[in-house]
Structure 1
Amino acid sequence: MGSVDLARFGLNLVMTAGVLAVVLGLVMSISVKRSDHSFIDIFWGPGFAVVAVCSYLMSIGTGGSQARRLLVLITTCVWALRLGGYLARRNLGKGEDKRYTAFLRHQTGNRYFWLIRNIYGKQGVLMWCISVPVQLAMYESRGLGAIEGIGFVVWLIGFLFESVGDWQLSGFKADPANKGRIMDRGLWAWTRHPNYFGDACVWCAFWLFALGSWWGLLTVFSPVLMAYCLVSLGGKKLTEKGMRRSRGAAFEAYAARTSGFFPRPPRRVDDLTSPSQR
């Protein structure tokens, strides 16, 4: 295992926290002016690109492997900018997401303190914590090896699941004939959330990229935290709650034949009506 310049890495953690605070403050100002706080969703991906670029620049001359630093920088930015671009195309011009509209009804006290405490501060802390493997990998001296090769394969699988799933869903929604129907084709026939599954894979890959030193093992909280956010904190949980409310029996039938997260072939109708299932 390679070495890590822990002093410079610690400084990096402080610097990225400060940069995120400034950038998220700007995002909040824009959101308030636009009266659309769902604008922060678009910044979720690009925020990680900001952290990666900042960490890459700060790690120059610290002994970090150039190959590892470039791998982490490029894969983080490609994932982050694709996600941000997709959400921008999907959300801009559509008004505030109803989730934020409902949440903002509970606003009390000073408006800006409430927004920082309940939306922008929380997302900033999550972003900073989840990005720790990306930051650490920039300071690891060991070159690339088999672990990073496996990591890249995992990253590629995740990136393809996420991007292809989003592309398929966009095409489905663009067809007026599908209005009111549930997307159950392509990757969406194998998992109800190919985008969230892909996201989880991407962050498992970033953790693998950070295993150039023993310190990287400690950053396993990052993919675990991301998976928790995707499955239980928001993401899957909120999406399916809304689907059950709006689509009722149609969604229940889709959920019965389709995996909730990890991809698998859809269950056949006769499997669902076998004696053991009745």
Structure 2
Amino acid sequence: MISSPWILLLVGAIGASAMMIGVWLVSIRISNASYVDVAWAFGIAGTAVGYAFLADGSPLHRVVVGGLGAVWGVRLGTYLLGRLAGKEEDGRYQELRRRWAPNVNRAFFVFFQAQAGFVLIFSLPFAFVAADGGELTWLTWIGVAVALGSIAGELTADTQLAVWKGNPANKGKTARNGLWGWSRHPNYFFEWLHWVGWAVIAFSSPYGWIAIFVPVFLLTLLFKVTGIPETEAQSLRSRGDDYRRYQEEVSVFVPLPPKKRAEA
């Protein structure tokens, strides 16, 4: 059993890097990099379960890590896999291929290894909590409630989007049903809130305060790097004026009542 969270993180880093090399090789063979998103979700679930088995923390702490981490990662990974199976490469990755030509495979290797690094970063709270040999605190239970509520929110948003896309009359239109009428990215919002929950869970554990970095890091990614900017750019390319109106009327992140459309 491993008592140091730093050793757990080293094991997680090696495993995540090896996994992403394998997925990169598959992506070359099938000419589709979209599955890196699936690998990211399952990879984080794998670190949670792995840390839970390897760590020397209390049984309850390890159950929280393995159980809650697996529920989140397997749900998201399965959902993404269902969306991607049999489909062409996501438009975001097609755009990256265009930008990175002619060194596409080399660039994607670096990109996939960066995703392995992200897996490690998001596994920080798992390592600190799994190695904690103390008692669960009231903060832990508050964090668990926030994380579970966020998973429910993500599931609701994903289901509502699938219902919208399942109606042929909505082809080429932007989803506005349910949570999508209140936030342009409710899935991202609940994803971020989920990691806020993990920061709260980890706060009472040794070194657990470091987990506060995770939701801050995710918020930076979502607003400045690969999240919202790339997604909205692709939506504007595919849906044009319909998505521009959506941007004017609906909150970008936090679910809020939509603005009323001005009368012509």
The counterpart of 1:219, out of the listed 187, 190, 211, is 211
Deviation (angstroms), 1:184: 0.7
C-alpha distance in structure 2 between counterparts of 1:265 and 1:214, whole Å: 40
Aligned residue number for residue 99 of structure 1: 92
* Mean Cα deviation higher: 259-268 or 97-106: 97-106
C-alpha distance in structure 1 between counterparts of 2:224 and 2:149, whole Å: 22
Segments of structure 2 that go 5 or more residues without pairing to the other structure are: none
Runs of 4+ residues over 4 Å off in structure 1: none
Q: Residues 152, 27 of structure 1: CA spacing in aligned structure 2 closer, same or farther, 3 A cutoff?
A: same
2:49–2:69 CA contact under 8 A, matched in 1: no
1:165–1:188 CA contact under 8 A, matched in 2: yes
Deviation (angstroms), 1:128: 0.7
Aligned residue number for residue 126 of structure 1: 118
Deviation (angstroms), 1:252: 2.7
1:140–1:212 CA contact under 8 A, matched in 2: no
1:39 aligns with 2:31: no
Aligned residue number for residue 182 of structure 1: 174
Q: Residues 34, 244 of structure 1: CA spacing in aligned structure 2 closer, same or farther, 3 A cutoff?
A: closer
Aligned residue number for residue 239 of structure 1: 231
Aligned residue number for residue 21 of structure 2: 25
User: Which protein shows a greater Rg?
Assistant: 1
2:192–2:215 CA contact under 8 A, matched in 1: yes
Q: What secondary structure does 2:207 align onto?
A: helix
Deviation (angstroms), 1:19: 1.0
C-alpha distance in structure 2 between counterparts of 1:108 and 1:140, whole Å: 48
Deviation (angstroms), 1:91: 0.7
C-alpha distance in structure 1 between counterparts of 2:14 and 2:217, whole Å: 21
Deviation (angstroms), 1:253: 2.4
1:52–1:76 CA contact under 8 A, matched in 2: yes
The counterpart of 1:204, out of the listed 196, 201, 211, is 196
Q: What secondary structure does 1:22 align onto?
A: helix
C-alpha distance in structure 2 between counterparts of 1:33 and 1:213, whole Å: 43
Letter in 1 for 2:158: D
Please, what is the CA RMSD of the aligned residues?
2.1
1:141 aligns with 2:133: yes
C-alpha distance in structure 2 between counterparts of 1:245 and 1:101, whole Å: 13
1:9–1:135 CA contact under 8 A, matched in 2: yes
Letter in 1 for 2:50: C
Deviation (angstroms), 1:7: 6.2
Q: Residues 173, 20 of structure 1: CA spacing in aligned structure 2 closer, same or farther, 3 A cutoff?
A: same
Letter in 2 for 1:30: V
Question: Deviations for 1:24-76, whole angstroms, at most 9, x for unmatched residues?
Answer: 121112222222111211111101011112111210xx2x1211211121111
Instruction: State the number of aligned residues.
Output: 263
1:169 aligns with 2:161: yes
Aligned residue number for residue 253 of structure 1: 245
Q: Residues 249, 113 of structure 1: CA spacing in aligned structure 2 closer, same or farther, 3 A cutoff?
A: closer
C-alpha distance in structure 1 between counterparts of 2:16 and 2:97, whole Å: 23
C-alpha distance in structure 2 between counterparts of 1:160 and 1:219, whole Å: 22
Aligned residue number for residue 156 of structure 1: 148
Identity %: 30
C-alpha distance in structure 2 between counterparts of 1:192 and 1:72, whole Å: 30
Q: Residues 177, 113 of structure 1: CA spacing in aligned structure 2 closer, same or farther, 3 A cutoff?
A: closer
Question: Deviations for 1:216-274, whole angstroms, at most 9, x for unmatched residues?
Answer: 112211111122222321121111122233333322322222111111222233xx56x
Aligned residue number for residue 9 of structure 2: 13
Q: What secondary structure does 2:256 align onto?
A: coil
Deviation (angstroms), 1:108: 5.0
Letter in 2 for 1:172: W
So what's the TM-score if we normalise by structure 2? 0.92
